[in-house]
């Protein structure tokens, strides 16, 4: 049996790196695998810097094997909906979601992702393990770089999360879902939708897993950039929580149709935020975003006896406090719904 696989590469203002990404994709053995009929789409969305044209030139240099779609409207959740419901082949078996700014160090990364998912019929999604470039290339790091590298993997179990940088989904499972336009953090929202079948069933963490596939992503390299990045993540998570509360207040049979409406309504997310936030007693951002690093430390008491781990955790909590307060202030000023 030949698996039909569509690969969507999400690119927003990536003109500086898109040619390198297209070249990496061209080296992936999935394009030549006899048991996989692969199609690659560069999803240039809302770009203002010539990303689509650069991708076209890069594709031509490798024989035109990669298609480029120039989407005038940006936003990752919007583009996710377009790829899943409009641009992918209607008879595709598996969809791969890939960011344009990552590295694929191994030429069989995408084919192994497909085969890993295909071998597990009970799964909806199969993850690639994210690896910071600071960890992948540790030479010549500054003290701050080493601290950032040391904090890798402390907060999330990547196998049961959705890392939006690179993952695969069964096409029929993906098509059963829609994402609201404007989500600041779409992968956390998608994870909840997968594990609960759009909030219509009890959570089942057995629907997502990962294997040996990995990819490299560029870490933020300054305190200011880290704060901005993490503030977006925290705001996105708070927005997701408001969306979940809104959906759970609806009758179960109405939740999936509501998601379909949210994928076509530019104002849906803003209305939900205005209705749900701030909420007592914590305001815009639930407290667990502040204390989750310390909670992980308490769950692993041996780390309390490891000075390096303890130092990283304490320093991390101080960082989380700054991010938490920054997120509260920004959301109070109206930051929330938005693209990318």
Q: What is the pLDDT of residue 136?
A: 66
95 close to 171: Cβ distance less than 8 angstroms:
yes
For the chain, the domains span 3-332
- Per-residue pLDDT at 216 exceeds 70: yes
Look at 1 and 209; give whichever has higher pLDDT: 209
Mean pLDDT of 117-136: 91
| Alpha carbon of residue 330 to chain centroid | 22
Q: What is the pLDDT of residue 340?
A: 38
Give the pLDDT band (50/70/90) at residue 318: confident
Q: What is the pLDDT of residue 4?
A: 98
- Per-residue pLDDT at 239 exceeds 90: yes
Q: What is the pLDDT of residue 144?
A: 67
Tens digit of each residue's pLDDT (9 = 90 or more) over 176-185: 999 999 999 9
DSSP conformation class of 279: B
- Per-residue pLDDT at 48 exceeds 50: yes
CATH (residue range 3-332): 3.90.550.10
Percent of the chain whose pLDDT exceeds 70: 93
Residues in contact with 4: Cβ distance below 8 Å, sequence separation at least 6, in sequence order:
37, 39, 89, 91, 92, 93, 94
Q: Taking the model in full, what pTM does it have?
A: 0.89
Question: Side by side, which strands form the sheet with 166-170?
Answer: 67-71, 36-45, 3-11, 94-99, 166-170, 125-132, 208-217, 102-103
Q: What is the pLDDT of residue 151?
A: 58
Look at 55 and 232; give whichever has higher pLDDT: 55
Collapsed DSSP state (helix, strand, coil) of residue 138: coil
**Strands 3-11 and 36-45, bridge-based pairing:** parallel
Task: Establish how many alpha carbons lie within 13 A of residue 141's alpha carbon, considering only the half-sphere containing its beta carbon.
Answer: 19
Mean pLDDT of the chain: 90
Q: What is the pLDDT of residue 155?
A: 43
Percent of the chain whose pLDDT exceeds 90: 71
For the ranges 142-151, 221-230, 286-295, the lowest mean pLDDT is seen at 142-151
Alpha helices, DSSP H, located in the chain: 18-26, 51-61, 76-82, 109-118, 133-136, 143-150, 171-175, 186-196, 223-248, 252-262, 268-276, 288-299, 307-332
Tens digit of each residue's pLDDT (9 = 90 or more) over 141-152: 676 666 665 655
Rounded Cα distance, 242 and 132, in Å = 30
- Per-residue pLDDT at 140 exceeds 80: no
Give the pLDDT band (50/70/90) at residue 306: confident
Q: Which is nearest to 108 in space by CA: 24, 22, 210?
A: 24
Rounded Cα distance, 28 and 108, in Å = 6
Give the pLDDT band (50/70/90) at residue 20: very high
Mean pLDDT of 80-107: 98
């Amino acid at each position: 049996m030949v698996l039909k696989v569509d690969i969507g590469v999400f690119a927003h203002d990536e003109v500086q790196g898109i040619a390198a990404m297209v070249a990496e994709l061209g080296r992936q053995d999935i394009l030549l695998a006899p048991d996989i009929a692969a199609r690659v789409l560069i999803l240039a969305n809302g770009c203002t810097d010539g990303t689509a044209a650069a991708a076209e030139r890069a594709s031509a240099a490798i024989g035109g094997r990669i298609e480029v779609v120039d989407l005038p409207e940006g936003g990752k959740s919007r583009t996710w909906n377009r790829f899943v419901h409009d641009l992918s082949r209607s008879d595709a078996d598996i969809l791969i979601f890939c960011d344009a700014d990552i590295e694929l160090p191994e030429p069989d990364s995408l084919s192994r992702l497909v085969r890993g998912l295909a071998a597990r019929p009970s799964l909806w999604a199969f993850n690639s393990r994210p690896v910071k470039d600071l960890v992948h290339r540790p030479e010549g790091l500054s003290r701050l770089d080493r601290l950032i590298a040391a904090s890798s993997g402390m907060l999330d179990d990547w196998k049961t999360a959705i890392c939006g940088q690179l993952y695969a989904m069964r096409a029929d499972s993906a098509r059963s879902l829609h994402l609201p336009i404007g989500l600041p953090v779409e992968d956390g929202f998608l994870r909840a939708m997968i594990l609960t079948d759009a909030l219509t069933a009890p959570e089942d963490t057995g629907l997502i897993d990962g294997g040996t596939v990995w990819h490299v992503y560029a870490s933020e390299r300054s305190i200011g950039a880290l704060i901005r990045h993490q503030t977006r993540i925290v705001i996105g998570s708070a927005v997701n929580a408001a969306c979940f509360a809104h959906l759970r207040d609806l009758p179960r049979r109405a939740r999936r149709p509501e998601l379909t409406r949210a994928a076509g309504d530019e104002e849906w997310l803003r209305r939900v935020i205005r209705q749900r936030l701030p909420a007592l007693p914590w305001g815009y951002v639930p407290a667990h975003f502040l204390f989750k690093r310390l909670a992980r430390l308490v769950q692993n008491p041996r780390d309390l006896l490891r000075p390096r781990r303890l130092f990283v955790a304490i320093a991390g909590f101080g960082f989380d406090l700054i991010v938490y307060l920054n997120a509260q202030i920004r959301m109070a000023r109206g930051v929330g719904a938005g693209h990318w």
